[in-house]
Structure 1
Amino acid sequence: MDFWSRLLSHASISTSTSRKDAAKDPAKRLHRFEREYAQLLQVWRNTSNLPRDFEAAEKLEIRLDELTSILSDETRRPLPHPCIQFASIKQIYAPIGKIATTSSNEWIVKSAVLFFATLVESEEEAFVESHNFSSSLTNLLVRITGQNSVRLGRDTEAKVVELAFNITTKIRLQPSILDVWFQTPHQAPHHHAPPGRNHQNQERQAIGDRERFAGRMQKQDFPLFYILMDYIQHEGRVGDFARTGLLYIIECAAASVPLEQWIVESDLSTLMATGLGALYSQLSRKLVVDYPAHELPPVLALSDYQHPTSNYEIVASCSPEFQAHLETFLSHLLFWQDVLNHCRSLEVKSTLLEHFQVIFLQQLLYPSLLESSDIDGGSSVAVITYLRRILESLDHPDMINLILHYLLALPDSLPSVPPPNNTSVSDARKRKSLDLLTMMAAENLDLSVTPLLFNLVDLTLACLRSHSQQTIHVTLQLVSAILKRHHRYAILTLLRTEALHESPSSTRRTAGAHNQEVDYLMSLAGSIGGQDNFDEVYENTIQDAMTRLESHPCSLKLVAPRVSTNNHDLPAIPDSLPGAPPDVTSHTLLPDDPLLGALLDILDTFFINPIDTNLSVTETITDLAICGYMGIEGWLLRSAKTYSYNESSDPADPVDPADLPSSTSPTDSDFDSASELAQIQARQKCTTRPRWEKSTLPRVLIILGQLVDQISKYRETIPRFDELLQQRREAFQTADSAPTPQPKSRTHTPAPAPAPAAAEMTSDTRGDSPARPSALEGFAHRLLSELGSPSRSSSPRGASPRGRKDRVSAAVSGGYGIGTPGPAVPPKEFSLNYEVRPLGRSYSPVSGGEGAKDPLVASQKAAFAAVDQSILARRVGIPGRAVIPLRFKAEGDAGVSPEENTEEQTEHSEGQDQTESEGNGRGHGPAAETVSVSHVLTNALILQSFIMELAGLVQVRAGLFNEVRFT
């Protein structure tokens, strides 16, 4: 190192050392601080045109940063802190605020904001308690955030709003400093005016009232409040700071009567309601529900799903722009909920809810529902989707009650809340309500159209019978959301229910009838077929049903444990709203309920319905039976009043005492023969199965039986139906396991050993068919890639359209019988076609070894794959209805080619399509009257899952809610 380098090094070291020593010494630190402040004032005073003098602006920024650095360093050092004391005594923040407001320079503004933030964060000298400091800071914030101020960058805006948030945090922790930042509005004294000036004074007073309603006279009272209001709709840190700071101020209203009255009279409620309405108006008026091509769920990819058409007017729900707009709207809606949660003032809360109803519900949301239509390209889909997302996002009882009470046209009731003691705040709220009505009248808004003429129930029933499958799908999702989250509002509105009063136990279903109905449902599920671990699948279904039943809001009182043996009060659902529906009591659904009828009409055409529609309708039917207070007899299961028994097994027949065990002999001294015989007869009566008569079955069970019969018809007319169904199940297994990070190599797992009865039946019917490997040598993966459209992914995700855990895997990756690899044997009283079809030929006669490389075997596999693809692509209708099922020619028979067969079927169908479309209440149209075999297979697996869910639900309800009697 040369001489000059050593000299410069020593000089820099000595300078750094001297600065550290000066920072440690309070006197030297104060001297340096005063020098920097004096230079700052000198540059400012010597600059005549600061916005255009960039050199002076740079010097001012450097001096401000240096002052902030000294203060920040001093706060971390031990006392004394002379620089902070100097800043407080000399009030240096006042000229610094003026420099920032007159500079029109963002960098100077940012440095000044950081300087004020450092003073606020210091716990000395009580800056936030000083009126002068409050005046300087609020003046700075108002000037730099005003309309004519310099445009601030995102980082500077974040610093500004964070500073305002820090002040609200101080106010929340020290309510006594509220008066420093909030100037209590004083009413001007009323002087007696000369008679000639009365008219002029009245005009001025009217102008003053309008200005106060518009918020013009409020901002000067609490500038910090309106600064935060301007940023509540921003995203990221800026919006979070603004919304949280505003919540802190609203919290303080409960402890300050002047602030409470000021908030009521301010335009907080008006700005929040109009802001929410503006965000709602930005949402697309027309919408179609769609999925990204690379994220299409496998359950839709292996069906006839087609992406709907979208354009500049009709937006797809998967569009990133639409999702961003929707999330912004919902976040602002959640801010409404947060405000109500933090607000402890009844008057402020009532004012907010009143504006929410008048400005948003009555003027925007309800008119959009009323004017929606499924003819103009998806406006019904849009508004119903928005309403569903609103109900799914909110959980505040006030907002839920306001929305559903209004849209369902529930009757009003008088509020039970006593009038508040503070009459001044009440008078202010009355004036605010009158101002709101005056504003509505001035804008010539029509308030005569109300849900009393057309409410949400009418819209729902109309949309469920729509010609648009998209409208049906989103309406089912809306109904499901109301049933799951707000069931109490659905009673006597969406649903036609009947109260169940305390009745004798004889009206409850018996153990014999319960076992019979569960066996029937399991037999239906088992008859669809499958080869997997059915016991494990059913156990998962039971656990899922238990979780859903226990988590339902209405079931809380039924399943929640008691607090103690002396306190038998169960935890109640909080509800303090006037006009809210009463607590749910025991009820049942009437069989002629219009909503249930519409759901079953959709279920009746199950195999030609879109996949998402079937997933939604099965989910909604299940939601009807989830509530613990909902009786399922009469509409889902048979009513106990319809039980009848065979004469040969009449449970009323007397029991011969000689048949009793010796321990219960009538000669025993401890045995009461009369009472024991009565108990045995009652137990026998409850365990005896009644006659299975179709006339006593509810429509749900009848339709499920018809759908299973249709699968039997498909099995008779579609070659290799069982093999294709099992391959579809394995294809979903592969898709469900695809996202795993480290997939393990699949090995052959032997199927569980069949039960003796099932094994005997299988051996009699299947003959000597060669065994198939369970993995089908990767055919499931190839099926996903070859049968999908070009836009479908070759390895789709295992996402569930229902949004429930393991739904797809439970629906399609496991068969639904009871512990047997083949179809279950049904009870003798079930008159259904349960013939087990043989498996037929196998794709892979040799699963490994040298045979797998045989060219003949490879050629045979390719031929079978081509045949199966041809079968899966063929179109079929509903068996036994207008469109005749496809007739396939037998192997080796002479006949028409597949193309000729399709053309012949098309010609035959053309004459029937019009009749079918007119006869179908939902108007599927000719294209929807036939679907591919691949679509039928996926729907068959969904049906199997649904029947399994119903069986598990019935079984869990019986034990959880004590619905079955045994004596």
Structure 2
Amino acid sequence: MDFWTRLLGGSSKKQATANNPQQRLARFKQRYNQILQTWQKSDSLASDREAIAGIRRGFQALTSILNDESRSPAPHLCLGFAAAQQIYTAVSKIAATSHDEGMVRDAVAVYNALIDSEEEDFLENDVFAASLMNFVGRTVGSGSMGIGEDIEADIVELLFGIAAKIRLQPEILPVWFTTAAADSHGRLVNQKVDFAGMTQKEDFPLCYQLIDHVHHEGRIGDFARTGLLYIFESASKSMTLEQWIVNSDLPTLMATGLGALYSQLSRKLSILHIDAGEGLPLILKLSDYAEMQPNPQAESFFSDDFQGHMNTFLSYLAFWQDVLVHCTSVEVRLTLIDHFQVLFLQQLLYPSLLESSDVDGGSSVAVLTYLRRILDMLDHPELVHMILHYLLALNDYAVSSPRTPRSPAAVKRRQSLLLLNVPDKEDDKMNPSLFNLVDLVLSSTSSQDAQTVISGLKLSTVILGKNHGYALGSIIKIMHAHHREPHRTVGALNAELESYLNLAIGLAGEAGVDEVYDCHLKEKLSMLENHPCSLKTLALQTLSVQSPGYFDTESGPRDVGPHYLMPEDPLFKSLLDILLTFLTNDVETNLALTETIITLGTCSQLRLEGWLSVDAAEYHFENTDLEPQNFTNDGLRDMYRASCQPTWDASATPPLLSSLKSLEAQVDALRADIQDWDEHVASRKHAFRTYEELSEVSKATPPQVKPARLGADLPAGSWTPQIPKHVLENPTTPSRTASPRGRKEGLDMKHTPAASPSLRAGGQGQILAGSPSRGMSPLPAPRATNRQTTFMTDVLGNLAEVNNHPNFRRRIRFRRPAGSQTVEVLLSKYQPPPKDPDEDATAGAEQGAEGKKDDVNEASLGHIITNVVILQEFVLELVALMQVRASLFSEVRFA
């Protein structure tokens, strides 16, 4: 008993000693004096390792004591002593002269302990601010000692904490921001300012330190960007800071920094997958994708270096967007926009578009890809408006000063920027009206290079889907509809749906069509509801859908009214030309093509007549005299007539349907010439479906249930893998409605390509792993077991072996006569000759009547079969789109 009493008594005594303020202060003074003595005795601290180790132990002890005191009840004598003696000045000098990373880390810990104590008002102390910024400038500033990234991140995090305090407590701003150029009322006096602004780091060193680190990746960049964001947000609470930012070179540094990151991106880019082996997506493995050769001079989109540069650039662009959203100071916001317009958009982004070329093998691909990523990431209406109005050379684009009143300094600054963009000679002026984004997109979609076509289609998809109002009259040519009432009847809709459905079944059979179609209905409903033009269409008439407060001028996105697609639209003609060679196109081109057409049809204001549906004026109703005579009123008679299915002349067939029928004729020719054609197509569809289901199983942790049967209703001759019992033990069939179905990134996402747009539902939806959305889920998917992984590898191996069979490697040629809109299949009677010097003479003999060469393409049988499966999915998407639109937007008449 005496033992436990002595033990407990001793613990209480030690605890009381530790919590005694006087004894704690004595220990603090002792440690601090030891640090000063060691520092003063050392002739060269940087080379005295023993002294550095002793001082580091002293810093760590000071930090521990300060943290303990902050958690203890008052009085806090150590913090009072630290403030009175200004120990931070000694800490700053010692750490800066030691040139030791460990010493710097321990000094940062001391500063953090002082700031976190929230006592003695360290952040309101001019000497503390000067000491800290001098320490930061010597350690991470220009010509600093070169510390590691982890310590640099700690320092930038410390600066971020101070910026956050300034945001919450604006009264401490004068401590960290001072300027001698202010008058007695706190307003900056007029000074001579050129376009670059004044560089006065001594006025606000905290701000300059943050902007020096905003370009970094990881923690450093995140803390710097957020801290600088807080500084801009504080400008609305301080007129002096607001005018200082307008007059300083801060906007110039931000704009030139964005331009520097853009310039680091490769001038030539290849969007082909690097790994043509095990890492290649299944849909590409079952095609001729491996035969595509990248430009050796172009950087790969999938390389780690490029992805790092691209992510850094997009992060900084997102920072620009965040600053404009959170900055409530109109003058600062407009000044930033002016610099973005002149220094980035007009002097860098547009010249890169102007200098791009499809001839050099990659520069057009690069510019198109960069523009797509920029527009896909940006949501701020002012930035989007500025970029698209300038690059598309829209008529209502204005470079005049906004109507919002601005200070004389801001007006003078804007004039200096505009003069900067004036060339010495009028001939050197770069004018988007001569060559703009429309010209680049149209030339890219009609290019002979597959990568250029893919890039142009993907950029068109982003503009049509996300910024549809800007595409009207530029990317696509339209004519306005004067009648809002629908002309199409429900009977005509049923007839058109039946035509498309029969075409889809004729392409690749009826197996799985119902399930696929059901998935597409749900997907198209989501796409239509989320389209920017649908908000006005679906909103109640009594509700306002006007976006609040972004624009100070009449430069907002134009109001989109009902319109038709003009028959001679160049982009749509290019889409139809690509569609005619669908069977021999590479898979990624077809996926991008189908996505563009579907996106075009998701605009609620675009009428389908003339390109996807039949014009109501072309309807022919037969046997109208045979209608029942016992109608009780005219309304029922009108309903009956509206439900009748009309016919139409061949000349009235929509262009898209005509092109699909041409493809159906090509498939019919192949079916008649190739033995077991339907079985081959069914096997390919089943292979995709099986792989999807196995992929879903591999992501889950299956409990013990009865195995599901697969392949019970397969046609004869189809390939059926023997699936082990442990793989099939899954509680339910994998849900395909939860599969990622978007096509935002297509197949160009790093490491895990997004789901194929045309092979997404009904078993083909989850062919490729990975979500296409910009924000990935924070929860990692469960890993597959070794047995499942091995089996998946075996399945892939079997599929690759089947696809490499000589029968599937057989080459089939397609010929499109010069100037014709039909494609002829060169059947078994034609055997491709071996390549030799005489091949050019053979190709030259295939000429049309006017001496123009026919367009001859070839592909393997396996590649064509994969494209047929994609084509059926696309037709089903069109059917779902038409049906959902008719219901959601009331596009047909029932009477």
The aligned residue for residue 136 of structure 1 is: 131
Residue 708 of structure 1 aligns to a residue in which SS?
helix
Query: Take 2:684 and 2:850, find their aligned partners in 1: how far apart are those partners?
Result: 29
The aligned residue for residue 528 of structure 1 is: 507
- Structure 1 residue 14, shift from structure 2 partner: 12
Query: Take 1:924 and 1:276, find their aligned partners in 2: how far apart are those partners?
Result: 47
Is the aligned partner of 1:350 residue 2:329?
A: no
- RMSD of aligned Cα (Å): 3.6
Is the aligned partner of 1:721 residue 2:702?
A: no
Counterpart selection for 2:41 from 37, 43, 46: 46
The aligned residue for residue 576 of structure 1 is: 551
User: Letter of the aligned partner of 1:175 in structure 2?
Assistant: P
Is the aligned partner of 1:632 residue 2:608?
A: yes
CA contact (8 A) 1:288 1:308 kept: no
User: Letter of the aligned partner of 1:598 in structure 2?
Assistant: S
Counterpart selection for 1:56 from 51, 55, 62: 51
- Between 532-541 and 102-111, report the one with greater CA deviation: 102-111
The aligned residue for residue 730 of structure 2 is: none
- Structure 1 residue 97, shift from structure 2 partner: 2.2
Query: Take 2:427 and 2:317, find their aligned partners in 1: how far apart are those partners?
Result: 25
The aligned residue for residue 111 of structure 1 is: 106
TM-score, normalised on structure 1?
0.78
- Between 97-106 and 477-486, report the one with greater CA deviation: 97-106
1:187 to 1:902, Cα distance in 2 relative to 1, 3 A: closer
1:810 to 1:276, Cα distance in 2 relative to 1, 3 A: closer
The aligned residue for residue 945 of structure 1 is: 873
Residue 607 of structure 1 aligns to a residue in which SS?
coil
Query: Take 2:497 and 2:287, find their aligned partners in 1: how far apart are those partners?
Result: 30
The aligned residue for residue 529 of structure 2 is: 550
User: Letter of the aligned partner of 1:608 in structure 2?
Assistant: T
1:866 to 1:239, Cα distance in 2 relative to 1, 3 A: closer
1:920 to 1:98, Cα distance in 2 relative to 1, 3 A: farther
Query: Take 2:172 and 2:268, find their aligned partners in 1: how far apart are those partners?
Result: 51
Counterpart selection for 1:412 from 397, 407, 415: 397
1:574 to 1:723, Cα distance in 2 relative to 1, 3 A: farther
Query: Take 2:495 and 2:824, find their aligned partners in 1: how far apart are those partners?
Result: 35
Structure number, greater radius of gyration: 1
CA contact (8 A) 1:213 1:267 kept: yes
Query: Take 1:368 and 1:807, find their aligned partners in 2: how far apart are those partners?
Result: 30
- Structure 1 residue 958, shift from structure 2 partner: 0.5
- Structure 1 residue 526, shift from structure 2 partner: 1.1
Matches of residues 489-508 of structure 1 in structure 2 within 5 Å?
489-503=470-484, 505=485, 508=487
CA contact (8 A) 1:496 1:589 kept: yes
CA contact (8 A) 1:465 1:921 kept: no
Counterpart selection for 2:352 from 361, 368, 371: 368
- Between 293-302 and 625-634, report the one with greater CA deviation: 293-302
Query: Take 1:393 and 1:305, find their aligned partners in 2: how far apart are those partners?
Result: 29
Matches of residues 224-373 of structure 1 in structure 2 within 5 Å?
224-291=206-273, 292-293=275-276, 294-306=278-290, 308-310=292-294, 313-373=297-357
1:550 to 1:541, Cα distance in 2 relative to 1, 3 A: same
CA contact (8 A) 2:214 2:222 kept: yes
User: Letter of the aligned partner of 1:173 in structure 2?
Assistant: L
The aligned residue for residue 693 of structure 2 is: 737
Is the aligned partner of 1:877 residue 2:805?
A: no
The aligned residue for residue 459 of structure 1 is: 440
Q: How many residues align?
A: 816
Counterpart selection for 2:581 from 605, 617, 621: 605
Residue 479 of structure 2 aligns to a residue in which SS?
strand
Deviations, residues 858-878 of structure 1 (Å, cap 9, x unaligned)? xxxx9xx99993331111123
User: Letter of the aligned partner of 1:382 in structure 2?
Assistant: A
User: Letter of the aligned partner of 2:479 in structure 1?
Assistant: E
Counterpart selection for 1:962 from 883, 890, 895: 890
1:229 to 1:236, Cα distance in 2 relative to 1, 3 A: same
User: Letter of the aligned partner of 1:528 in structure 2?
Assistant: L
- Structure 1 residue 21, shift from structure 2 partner: 4.0
1:179 to 1:626, Cα distance in 2 relative to 1, 3 A: same
- Structure 1 residue 432, shift from structure 2 partner: 2.2
The aligned residue for residue 790 of structure 2 is: none
Residue 931 of structure 1 aligns to a residue in which SS?
strand
The aligned residue for residue 32 of structure 1 is: 27
- Structure 1 residue 711, shift from structure 2 partner: 0.8
> By percentage of residues, which structure has more helix?
1
Query: Take 1:116 and 1:751, find their aligned partners in 2: how far apart are those partners?
Result: 72
Query: Take 1:685 and 1:47, find their aligned partners in 2: how far apart are those partners?
Result: 103
Query: Take 1:867 and 1:627, find their aligned partners in 2: how far apart are those partners?
Result: 39
Is the aligned partner of 1:935 residue 2:866?
A: no
The aligned residue for residue 381 of structure 2 is: 397
- Between 947-956 and 289-298, report the one with greater CA deviation: 289-298
Counterpart selection for 1:699 from 641, 649, 655: 655
Is the aligned partner of 1:589 residue 2:565?
A: yes
Query: Take 1:419 and 1:641, find their aligned partners in 2: how far apart are those partners?
Result: 50
Is the aligned partner of 1:381 residue 2:365?
A: yes
CA contact (8 A) 2:270 2:298 kept: yes
List runs of 5+ in structure 2 lacking aligned partners: 1-5, 725-739, 748-752, 766-797
Query: Take 2:851 and 2:498, find their aligned partners in 1: how far apart are those partners?
Result: 33
Residue 202 of structure 2 aligns to a residue in which SS?
coil
Residue 299 of structure 2 aligns to a residue in which SS?
strand
List runs of 5+ in structure 1 lacking aligned partners: 1-10, 190-204, 665-675, 753-770, 781-796, 816-861, 890-899
1:166 to 1:33, Cα distance in 2 relative to 1, 3 A: same
User: Letter of the aligned partner of 1:265 in structure 2?
Assistant: N
Query: Take 2:804 and 2:195, find their aligned partners in 1: how far apart are those partners?
Result: 76
- Between 292-301 and 243-252, report the one with greater CA deviation: 292-301
- Structure 1 residue 746, shift from structure 2 partner: 6.3
Residue 730 of structure 1 aligns to a residue in which SS?
helix
- Structure 1 residue 643, shift from structure 2 partner: 1.8
1:808 to 1:948, Cα distance in 2 relative to 1, 3 A: closer
User: Letter of the aligned partner of 1:550 in structure 2?
Assistant: E
Residue 877 of structure 1 aligns to a residue in which SS?
strand
CA contact (8 A) 2:193 2:247 kept: no
User: Letter of the aligned partner of 1:682 in structure 2?
Assistant: D
CA contact (8 A) 1:172 1:248 kept: yes
User: Letter of the aligned partner of 2:445 in structure 1?
Assistant: L
CA contact (8 A) 1:477 1:620 kept: yes
Query: Take 1:108 and 1:400, find their aligned partners in 2: how far apart are those partners?
Result: 47
User: Letter of the aligned partner of 2:137 in structure 1?
Assistant: V
The aligned residue for residue 852 of structure 1 is: none
Is the aligned partner of 1:510 residue 2:489?
A: yes
The aligned residue for residue 519 of structure 2 is: 540
User: Letter of the aligned partner of 1:237 in structure 2?
Assistant: R
Matches of residues 67-78 of structure 1 in structure 2 within 5 Å?
67-78=62-73
Counterpart selection for 2:414 from 433, 448, 459: 433
User: Letter of the aligned partner of 2:805 in structure 1?
Assistant: Q
- Structure 1 residue 953, shift from structure 2 partner: 0.5
Deviations, residues 457-482 of structure 1 (Å, cap 9, x unaligned)? 11111111112111111100000111
TM-score, normalised on structure 2?
0.84
- Structure 1 residue 224, shift from structure 2 partner: 0.5
User: Letter of the aligned partner of 2:806 in structure 1?
Assistant: S
- Structure 1 residue 301, shift from structure 2 partner: 1.1
Residue 930 of structure 1 aligns to a residue in which SS?
strand
- Structure 1 residue 633, shift from structure 2 partner: 1.1
Counterpart selection for 1:79 from 49, 53, 74: 74
1:89 to 1:521, Cα distance in 2 relative to 1, 3 A: same
Query: Take 2:301 and 2:389, find their aligned partners in 1: how far apart are those partners?
Result: 28
- Between 320-329 and 798-807, report the one with greater CA deviation: 798-807
User: Letter of the aligned partner of 2:324 in structure 1?
Assistant: L
State the percentage of identical aligned residues.
Answer: 42
CA contact (8 A) 1:532 1:814 kept: no
- Structure 1 residue 913, shift from structure 2 partner: 3.1
User: Letter of the aligned partner of 2:251 in structure 1?
Assistant: S
